[in-house]
Structure 1
Amino acid sequence: MLVFPNAKINIGLNIVEKRPDGYHNIESCFYPVGWSDALEITLEERFSFESDGIAIPGSVSDNLCTKAYQMIAADYPLPPVKMHLLKSIPIGAGLGGGSADAAFAIKALNEQFDLKISFEKQLAYARRLGSDCAFFIPNKPAYCFEKGDLFEDIELNLKGKWIVLVNPGLHISTVEAYSGIVPKHGGHDLRHVLKEPIANWKFQVKNDFEATLFPKYPLLAEIKEALYEQGASYAAMSGSGSTLFGIFEQEKDLEKHFTGYTVWQGPLD
């Protein structure tokens, strides 16, 4: 079976409080985008995982796809498989690529071997693997809260808009991103603000990480400003990583404008 785990962007990201367990509660809108990895699962005599493309740090046993397989195999009669991942979504970029890989592995194993794992149980498995993994089970726009692992439907449809994502190659760890954050409740309900025209978002929809990471990495602020100069209706950093995105009303080819960076551009669904 071949599946294509896709990335997500954060439209707005408020860090509202630190939890007793050391995590942070957030408020954000997660929106799926077309930038994808490719994950192939085939039957083998014993389990194995390998990857090509962008190098993935850590051991095979630490990979979330491996953990997804082991977690399900502990509860269901799962045969040994070979997982081959072609990694295209940058790592540590705020796009949820690793979480998507894990969630799509859960869904693919369930479908390929007809395990009949309920939707709710797939969500529960995903939540065990990471804070934003569960989003990729339904994989549709959602208002996310708590650790980012709880969500509800949101009335936001950007179908037909064009998105440009720019990654300058900076790896920003979650620990580094949160180190300068002072949690606070936002002054508005993100769900209500996102009902307004996109042109209004610039002044109300914020990513809290920008305030601490932009002074440390001025390049990020420069890319955001460049996206606005190129006509973006809204531009921001995604998640806690180093990817900036711009949403445009019409198709825009900016690959040559951001030479030397990794650029993905395409329509939103």
Structure 2
Amino acid sequence: MTFQDPSRNTLKLKNYFDLPAPAKINLFLHIVGRTDNGYHLLQSVFQLVSLFDYIDLEELSDGKIERAGDINWSVESDLCWKAAKLLQEKCPDKGVRITVRKNIPDGAGLGGGSSDAATVLIGLNQMWGLGLTRQELCGLGVSLGADVPFFVFGQTAFAEGIGEVLQPVETEEMQFQIIFPGVRVSTAEIFNHPDLTRNTNLCTIANLKQQLHNFVQSPWGRNDLETVARSLYAPIEQAVKLLTPFGNPRMSGSGSAVYVAEKNLDKKSVKIPLPENWRQWAVKGLKKHPLWSWTC
């Protein structure tokens, strides 16, 4: 994997190509309560993995924010466009064309859209010379979505609150077999379901340390959203059954992707006959975001 280093840019208008936006999985996801305004409070460990979307940023001299690539929806609702508009408030004369090349499926619980927005924040902070810190970019990310701060944070994290309260944690080195069962899950549908568990007991980082270093053999916790998602989406149930012979399958986020964790970092994808439009990857856990050094 390569991407263009900004130090190589000598032209007045900069072009950054192939900026990586990694996917994430949730090693566990517990819903521990709700706020007065209805937001769900969670505890989770977010793990970056080596499945990437790629972002091109081409600086424009006319002050416009353009969005190209995968978009087939209103640009004003697009997270990458919103991320650029947030940063443009600090430099109104700057413009950019954002092109996203998707590999991470939408509605898979892998955080693709949030990761794309975070990479735009990180990349434009460099391109436009804004000098914002990682903490400041995380603060901006909260207004875009609960997962965006994690991707700016850029390392394995214990997450609390709505997902924006982050502390670094260490896990054993792992590889993950991921299956995307071809369906896009509505996060709102899962979170609003009356059968969702919303009172899982709180845990602490101190309690997690041993479990995270032995996660492959004994996956700790659970995904509180999984039971509801499996009941609503038959392909998720099917994916869990297909992966069961190879480990302890678990759904990521609100679904629909399902994974098993492995210690063998050179193992290829297990050969499972998959239905049409399903996808499968063997990916490694990442300790840090590939653009980690671009912020401080």
Q: TM-score, normalization: structure 2? A: 0.82
What is aligned with 2:154?
A: 139
Which of 182, 207, 211 does residue 169 from structure 1 map onto? Answer: 182
Partner Cα separation in structure 2 for residue 132 and residue 236 of structure 1: 19
Contact preservation (8 Å) 1:156, 1:195: no
User: Counterpart of 1:5?
Assistant: 21
Equivalent residue for 1:93? 108
Aligned to 2:263: 249
Q: Which amino acid aligns with 2:123?
A: A
Task: Give ranges in structure 1 of 5+ residues lacking alignment.
Answer: none
What do the CA deviations read for 1:145-170 (whole angstroms, capped 9, x no partner)? Answer: 00001110113232xx3211111111
RMSD: 2.0
How has the CA–CA distance of structure 1 residues 99 and 78 changed in structure 2, closer, same or farther, with 3 Å as cutoff?
farther
Per-residue deviation, 1:266: 2.3
Query: Counterparts of 1:84-233 in structure 2 under 5 Å?
Result: 84-158=99-173, 161-180=174-193, 181-186=196-201, 188-189=203-204, 192-193=207-208, 195-196=210-211, 197-202=214-219, 204-230=220-246, 232=247
Secondary structure (helix, strand or coil) at the match of 2:117 reads helix
Distance 1:57 1:146, change over 3 A: farther
Residue type at the aligned position of 1:60: V
Specify the alignment match of 1:51 in structure 2: 69
Aligned length: 261
Checking the alignment, whether the CA contact within 8 Å between 1:166 and 1:258 is kept in structure 2 is no
Q: Offset of 1:255 from its aligned partner? A: 5.3
SS at match of 1:29: strand
**d(CA) in 2 for partners of 1:16, 1:85:** 35
SS at match of 1:201: coil
Q: 1:61 to 1:243 in 2, by over 3 A?
A: same
Give the conservation status (yes or no) of the 8 Å contact 1:193–1:205: no
The residue type equivalent to 1:268 in the other structure is G
- Cα distance in 2 for partners of 1:78, 1:118 equals 21
> After superposition, what is the alpha-carbon deviation per residue over 1:103-130, rounded to whole angstroms, capped at 9, x for unaligned?
1101000111211112221111111111
Q: In 1, Cα distance between the equivalents of 2:30 and 2:93?
A: 40
Superposition TM-score, scaled by structure 1 size? 0.89
The one-letter code of the counterpart of 2:100 is L
Work out the CA distance in 1 between the residues paired with 2:78 and 2:209: 35
Please tell me whether the aligned partners of residues 14 and 26 of structure 1 are also in contact (alpha carbons under 8 angstroms): yes
TM-fit CA distance, 1:256: 4.7
